[in-house]
Chain A
Amino acid sequence: MAGLAATFGSGAMTNSIDEIEYTDLILATGTNTTENHPVIGAKVKRATKRGAKLIVIDPREIDLVKYADIWLQQKPGTDVAVINGMLNVIISEGLYAKEYVKDRTEGFDTLKKMVEKYTPEKVEKISGVPADDLKKAARMYAKADRASILYAMGITQHISGTDNVKSMANLSMLCGNVGIEGGGVNPLRGQNNVQGACDMGGLPNVYPAYQQVANEDVRKKFEGFWNAQLSPKPGLTIMEMMEAAGKGTIKAIYIMGENPMLSDPDLQHVKKELQKLDLMIVQDLFLTETAQLADVVLPVASFAEKDGTFSNTERRVQRVRKAVEAPGESKTDWEVICGIANKFGYPMNYASAKEIFEEVAKVTPSYAGISYERLEKGGIQWPCPTPEHQGTKFLHKDKFSRGLGLFSAIEYIEPNELPDKQYPFLLSTGRVLYHYHTGTMTTRAEGLTERYPESLVEINPADADKLKIADGQKVKVTSRRGSVEAKATITRKSAPGSIFMNFHFADTSVNLLTNPALDPIGKIPEYKVCAVKVEAA
């Protein structure tokens, strides 16, 4: 999100989900849409049936490849080079939106100079994408009237994650696709309310609606709202917190509904760090891997047992409604927070989720016009500044949030850890259709586990042949940080030399293997590239 915020002034999906179905061209990269966002995946497929063009840039032969006009199979982690190559072709052939670039953007000359050296031939050497295919894709993208870029964690979970996102923004702006219906740069968010958690200030540097904690005027305003003195110092990110816990500078962590003991990279290390804490509080539905390490575990209501709102990937605020009673003595997360706060000496008293939302609307300008009454009629997309405002379908119409759109001249850098003699395979991690995140919910579903009962290692037939591994055979995957065992599934989805594993199953914690190297700005770990060896178990 930092990438889009720097470029456009706002870090969110620029356009709406419904526009995907009716645009002229879709460029999908680093998103296995049909498995991770199936309902959007269906829209992409419907768009291609209607005649829209589809370019897929992905190292894996994902389902969407079947529907693609062009598939660029880059080596993992070479996204910046590929996009720079497309920029090179579009600029050198004069296919870019010249007036748009002149009127609405800045930094074009620097970009132009920088991408000169990313000739298709050079990019082929770096990424393995044939120069001719790259040229075709660049021309096809540039010639489309409206083109929408979709991406997900395949773009962001790299040490160059922020750079990758800025590259997408470069491409989109260069062809005048930002600020129009059917266009845009669209990060597909992986969790139901990750957009909302960010909007609400669940980040170390900002209050609700991305208002900077370091800005004195903003801080004074919130001190007034909350009747408290606030710290001007931005806080630690999740990975920095873990590190600080290990060093002993963080003594207590309060965790609401997260499972870092399965989702974070290099788990052995994370466990050691968490065990050093004086106090660890976890509130969750289940005794998760993380909760098992806690000092206090608090039982909470699931989404079906409470009222509230989620904000989806297209900034649409929608109601969550209570359908059943929570088991035992469980409380909602907000009741638990209030309970702790009141005992701690900071009074927090609310009668309902609605009352909390009314306070949210007061302090969050982009949500100011939204109310539970209005949401009864359906979701509303922020920004929605007033009760009369209809919400915003796509952002940056006529003008970017930051004024002019900023091109960023970005050089390609190699992933942090690449295969070598000892660890010859490249491991990428992600999700599969039938499961979700750390699996605490989906591995407890009868039907889902029937269809996908255990973790699988996706390996290319040629590699399986070389290693004499049969489909369904147990293999051992080892990195510099640990090793796990799981069954192999032989599939062309994985490119030769690459394997793919999911992180859903606690008994096959792939994050024992992953590399905790972080993107320096987004602080996102490089889940998509690390070096491993594979052998029959």
Chain B
Amino acid sequence: MEKKISIKLDGKDVEATAGQTVLECARENGIFIPTLCHYAKTTNVGACRVCVVEQEGARSLVAACCMPVSPNMVVRTNTPAVRAAQKMIIELLWASGDHNCLMCEQNGQCELQNLVYWLKIDQPRFEIKAPGYALDESNKMITRDLNKCILCGRCVRACNEIQVNEVLDFAKRSYRAKVGPAFDADYIDSNCFFCGECVQVCPTGAITFKQAKFAGRPWELNKVRTTCTYCGVGCQMDLYTKDNKIIKVMGNREYGQPNEGSLCVKGRFGMDFVAHPDRLKKPLIRYKKNEDFKEATWDEAFTFIADKLSKIKKENGADSIAGLSSARCTNEENYLFQKFMRAGIGTNNVDHCARL
């Protein structure tokens, strides 16, 4: 049984679980503490300090994401000192990068932008000095603009602790610090597997999907939860669409098992086939062997098939007909397929590529 302890949070007595952080306890109790570097189920690093709170008896403000609860602790999350510190942090982050929302894909869902608004900051008190890094547009999947990076390290932890691909890390120090693959390589020249987890966790527009660029603003996209069509893991994913086109694919931690929000390179970047010009659009019939296909209506195709199947069944019996159902199709379709073969045609000659 987990040990319960009592703490005072913004003047209210609340029950916390031993081992919990102040942040976790606050969230459970509906109290908002802003965060940037925090990402649940990865190490709490306390890097951004935007989650600072006042703790009675502490020498200075403490980071709620790293501070474990302790019995009779008294914590305040919304004092003037806390807000002043948060403003300072956000202003410094704003001033140290090129946070130009006009041309940013994350506009509208950027966590830095949201905090600027929430903290009511008009203008940073500091001169804006972006580092002037070159864009990493080395590949067709992920674009990196480190001028928008706030060094929260979420991508580093996603890469090392969630996907365990161990590609990303911090390099250099102080204002020269940056995240990336070894030897400061572009993604395409690194051993990156392009799972896209770094894009998914990035709170700003520093790491974005290349194909989604200029393809739709966040508020214009429809989101549909579905199951990935590739391997047997059955990852739950959100397809973001606009104008009948898939713009990007995201995992969603709220969906829980089996993938807890993670995806792989195929699920993430393997959806081009859906809108590919090679897709078949009309039924095709070859009326005589060795002739070319001719486009047909569905009625013509169904009639052609039904007539031929009837003739073959009559002349050679139902067992001269076979069907391959599909590990790619839905349960409903596989069910109907075998039902048709067994009850309609009258044969058990039905199999699929489970063996291949």
Contacts and interface: CB of A to CB of B under 8 A. Distances in A.
A357 B335 CA distance: 9
Contacts of B139: 447, 450-451
B137 to A, nearest CB: 12
A197 B333 CA distance: 9
Contacts of B17: none
A450 B231 contact: no
A359 B335 contact: yes
B286 A337 contact: no
Contacts of A333: 326, 329-330, 333, 337
A258 B353 contact: yes
B331 A263 contact: no
Contact of A197 (B226, B263, B329): B329
B264 A38 contact: yes
A244 B321 CA distance: 10
A284 B328 CA distance: 10
B280 A285 contact: yes
Interface string B311-334: 010001011111111111111111
A256 B279 contact: no
Interface in A127-157: 156
A95 interface: no
A327 B298 CA distance: 15
A403 interface: no
Contacts of A188: 231-233
A204 B331 CA distance: 16
A249 B340 CA distance: 20
B351 A241 contact: yes
Interface residues of A, number: 148
Contacts of B224: 321-323
Interface stretch (A42-50, A117-125, A168-176, A417-425): A42-50
A227 B35 CA distance: 62
A298 interface: yes
Interface stretch (B22-30, B61-69, B269-277): B269-277
A360 B280 CA distance: 29
B131 interface: no
B253 interface: no
Given A196-B331, A233-B319, A357-B332, A434 B350 contact: no
Given A197-B327, A330-B279, A1 B303 contact: no
A467 interface: no
B243 to A, nearest CB: 9
Nearest to B310: A344
Nearest to B238: A323
B290 to A, nearest CB: 10
A192 B327 contact: yes
A356 B265 contact: no
B333 A348 contact: no
Nearest to B316: A251
B141 interface: yes
Given A193-B328, A436-B230, A447 B321 contact: no
Of B188, B338, B345, the most chain A CB neighbours within 10 A belong to: B338
Contact of B306 (A197, A298, A343, A378): A343
Which of A256, A279, A447 has the most C-beta atoms of chain B within 10 angstroms of its own C-beta? A447
Given A39-B235, A256-B329, 16 more contacts: A37-B233, A191-B328, A193-B334, A200-B325, A205-B348, A207-B342, A230-B342, A286-B273, A295-B285, A304-B246, A312-B258, A329-B283, A340-B306, A356-B332, A445-B270, A451-B265
6 contacts: A17-B233, A42-B165, A229-B346, A329-B282, A433-B264, A440-B273
Interface of A: 1, 16-18, 36-40, 42, 45-46, 49, 156, 188-205, 207-208, 213, 222, 226-231, 233-239, 241, 244-245, 249-258, 260, 263-264, 278-279, 281, 284-287, 291, 294-300, 302-306, 308-314, 316-325, 327-334, 337-346, 348, 350, 353, 356-357, 359-360, 378-379, 433-436, 440-442, 444-448, 450-451, 522-525, 527
Interface of B: 139-141, 161-165, 188, 193-195, 210-211, 222, 224-236, 239, 241, 244-246, 255-259, 262-266, 269-276, 278-286, 289, 293, 298, 301-306, 308-310, 312, 316, 318-356
Shortest Cβ-Cβ A-B pairs, 7 listed: A328-B281, A312-B234, A308-B330, A235-B348, A189-B232, A299-B280, A346-B344
